[in-house]
Amino acid sequence: MAERPSASRQKAYRRGHRGEWLAAAALVLKGYRILARRHRTRCGERPRSAGGGDGVLCGEVKARRTLMEAMEAIGHESERRIEGAADIWLSRQSDYGKLSMRFDMVAVLPWRWPVHVENAFYGRN
């Protein structure tokens, strides 16, 4: 029988789901269409994908106290996992040759509307 997650782990999981919902709502209100949420790949990362025209953004959602803390929470290894997962997701799209990818971040901050940071990091060339 699997152990039940600790109370702090459950709280973090709920906070993550709430942050992702708020981030998705903010992007939809900006005119994006959510293409995938919590998409699992062999890389383990779950990129959030939204599209508009021929562009697809792969977003990372970070719930932190400040925008600076959220930006710093995406390390080099995280970037590589996100890029790998995005590559896998993009390769499975029928029109992948026409699509361009951008890596954004949405910071969910206390008592504020989510902050959408375009081009939070750049993928491999």
Residue in the structure block whose two tokens are 């910071």: 107
Consecutive H or E run containing 74: none
Task: Check pLDDT > 50 for residue 93.
Answer: yes
Q: Is the pLDDT assigned to residue 123 strictly greater than 80? A: no
Would you state the pLDDT for residue 44? 47
Least confident of 63-72, 86-95, 98-107, 112-121: 86-95
Please write the tens of the pLDDT for every residue from 50-71: 555 667 888 889 999 999 999 9
Each residue's pLDDT tens digit, 66-88: 999 999 999 888 888 888 888 88
For residues 86 and 47, is the Cβ–Cβ distance under 8 A?
A: yes
Give the per-residue pLDDT at 71: 93
User: Residue 28 above 70 pLDDT?
Assistant: yes
What fold characterizes domain 7-121? Trna Endonuclease; Chain: A, domain 1 (3.40.1350)
- Tokens 């995280």 correspond to what residue? 78
Cα separation, 60 vs 74, in Å, equals: 8
- What is the residue extent of each domain of the chain? 7-121
pLDDT digits (tens, 9 = 90+) for 5-25: 789 989 988 888 899 999 999
